[in-house]
Chains A and B, each alone.
Chain A
Amino acid sequence: MSNSVISVVSRFLEEYTSTTPNKLKVVDSYLLYILLTGALQFLYCLLVGTFPFNSFLSGFISCVGSFILAVCLRIQINPQNKGDFLSISPERAFADFLFAHTVLHLVVMNFIG
Chain B
Amino acid sequence: MERSRLLGWFLLNLALAGAQALTPAHHLSLPDVARLQSLLSQQFTDLESAYHSVVGLTKLGAAVPDHDHVCQFLKSQLDPTSVDSVFFAAETSQAISGCEIPVSNETRDILLAAVSEDSTMAQIHRAVSALSSLGLPVVSQEVVVSVWLTARLSQQAELGGILEEIEDLTARLDDLGGIYLQFEEGLEATAMFVTAAYSLSDHVDMEPPLKEDQVIQLVNSIFSKKSWDSLAEAFSVASAAAALSSNRFHVPVIVSAHGPATVSHSQPTLQLLVTDVMSQPLASANVLVESAYAVASKSVILSQASFTLNDGVYELNFMSTQPASGYYQFTIAVTGDSRLVANHVELKVKVSTEVAITSMDLSVVDKDQSIGTKTTRVDYPSKAKSSFIADSHQNFAMSFQLVDVNTGVELTPHQTFVRLHNQKTGQEVVFVAEPDSKSLYKFELDTAERKSEFDSISGTYSLCLIVGDATLENPILWNVADVVLKFVDEEAPATIQSKTLYVPKPEIQHLFREPEKKPPTVVSNTFTALVLSPFLLLLILWFKLGANISSFSFSPSTILFHVGHAATLGLMYVYWTHLNMFQTLKYLAFIGGVTFLAGNRMLAQKAVKRIAAEQSSRLAKYRSLR
Contacts and interface: CB of A to CB of B under 8 A. Distances in A.
Interface of A: 22, 25-26, 29-30, 32-34, 36-37, 40-41, 44, 47-49, 51, 89-92, 94-95, 98-99, 102, 105-106, 109-110, 112
A29 B546 contact: no
Main secondary structure of the interface of A (DSSP, over half): helix
Given A95-B599, A102-B588, A29 B606 contact: no
8 pairs of A and B residues whose beta carbons are closest in the complex: A91-B603, A29-B541, A36-B534, A33-B538, A48-B519, A44-B527, A33-B534, A91-B607
A91 B607 CA distance: 7
B75 to A, nearest CB: 98
Nearest to A37: B534
Contacts of B568: 102
5 contacts: A26-B542, A90-B607, A91-B610, A92-B603, A112-B576
Contact of A95 (B517, B523, B541, B600): B600
Nearest to A59: B531
B516 A44 contact: no
B454 interface: no
Interface string B516-529: 11110001100100
Given A40-B527, A98-B565, A102-B568, A51 B537 contact: no
Given A40-B530, A51-B516, A33 B592 contact: no
Contact of A89 (B527, B535, B545, B607): B607
Interface of B: 516-519, 523-524, 527, 530-531, 534-535, 537-538, 541-542, 545-547, 565, 568, 572, 575-576, 581, 584, 588, 592, 596, 599-600, 603-604, 606-607, 610
A41 B603 contact: no
Contacts of B527: 40, 44, 48
B537 A33 contact: yes
Contact of A105 (B572, B600, B606): B572
A89 B519 CA distance: 48
B607 A49 contact: no
B384 to A, nearest CB: 79
Contact of B545 (A26, A37, A95, A106): A26
Given A29-B542, A47-B523, A106-B572, 12 more contacts: A32-B541, A33-B535, A33-B541, A36-B537, A49-B519, A51-B518, A51-B519, A91-B607, A91-B610, A102-B568, A109-B584, A110-B575
A45 B568 CA distance: 29
